[in-house]
Every structure is written in C-alpha cells, then in structure tokens.
Amino acid sequence: MMTLFKKALLVTMFAALALALNVRPAAAAQILLTHSNINGTTQTYATVDYTLSGQTATFIFTAASGYLLMDSSAAALNINSTSFTESFLTPPGSFKSWDTSNSNIDGFGNFNLALNLNGGFGDGTSSLSFMVTNTSSTLWSTTADVLFTNTTGGSALSHIAPIALGGVCTGFASNGTTSTTTIPTECTTSVPDGGMTMSLLGLGLGALGFGVRRKK
C-alpha cells in the first residue's frame, strides 16, 4: 500500500511538473535593417533582436559596425496592438520622447512607435533597448504576433549615420523599401559598405598573385 508520505511526494512531484510545463521560455526573433536611403547597397545597417515573455516584448536595436543610431526615430517599430505601453530598464542619457502618432518616416511608410533622442550625431549611440507591453484584449502568443509590416514591407526602422562622415550624412534604414530613391549628395562618398570593397579588393589581389605564380 502507498503510504501517506509517498502520496504527498507524488502530489508534489506532479504539481512541480505541471508548473514547469506551463512556464515557457522567452521566444526570440531578429530583424535585419538592410534597405537605406543613404546608400544604394543592400547590406545590414542595423539589427533588431527581440524576445517575448508573456505580453512583454524586449527589443534591442544595434547599429552595424561603422554606424550610429541617432536623433528622431533612432528606433521605430510597428507594434501589432491597439493598446500598448513602452518602457526602459535604464533610459538612454540622450532620450527625448516617444512618438505614437503613426507617422510616415522618410518614405519608409508609417510606424506607430518611435523612440526619439536629443541632439544629432554627437548624441548618437550604438545600441538602444526598451520594452513594449501589449495591453489590448488580443494577446500575443509568439514573436510573429508582436509586429506587423506597413505598405513598404517595413516593421522596424532606425535613423542612422556613418561614423566616418561625422554626421554630415544621415538617413534611415529599414527592413522595408522606401519611396525616397534619391541619395543625398553628402552621402554619395565614403559611406561604409560593410567591408564589401575590401573583400573584393582582397579577392582581386589573390587572383593576381595566383596568375603571377602560374606564369613562373
């Protein structure tokens, strides 16, 4: 016969198992911002990593090497909710305001949440992180529920600047396209290309060296 102690132990074990099964780890996703109006090259200008835990999504915007996030719409998203709140664990020192006006940003379509920083290039940063909590009755189940795309295919955007140009050239990057096709004159020279030029140069020099060796 099962003793009272064994019964209690089994109940405790089943309760712990049920609790463990109901606790789901935070789901994760990543967005690459590869389209920009400062450079005709398709490359990664910034990344957006986010996780979902319950009804709170945590976002981390990270500028690619050679770039900064800056100024108005330093980070912008299309939050798939009719009601949400935004917050920081630690606000950036240059934080200015949140914008939920659902405005069109430089031809990349509308975004219903934007994080604005003070100043310009001098107050730029390589990374921004914040949280968005869904407070509507339509719940998020997976990371796929958190964002939606606008008419240009964009769900995330950043205001960026090439560090090498010291703030002379600024623009925006998104995972969607833009109706603004003219690259500003100040951005047509010396914009970082993610190392593509150096890679091609290295391949060219390697091929030249191989040809010289073959001739010998």
The reported pTM is 0.77
Express each pLDDT in 185-211 by its tens digit.
888 765 555 555 445 445 554 544 545
Q: Is 126 exposed, middle or buried (0-12, 13-18, 19+ CB in 10 A)?
A: middle
Q: Look up residue 140 and give its two tokens.
A: 């998020």
- pLDDT above 60 for 151: yes
Band of residue 27 on the pLDDT scale cut at 50, 70, 90 = confident
* Residue 31 β-bridge partners: 48
Residue type at 113 in one-letter notation: L
Question: Distance between CA atoms of 127 and 179, rounded to whole angstroms?
Answer: 27
Confidence of residue 8 (pLDDT cuts 50, 70, 90): very low
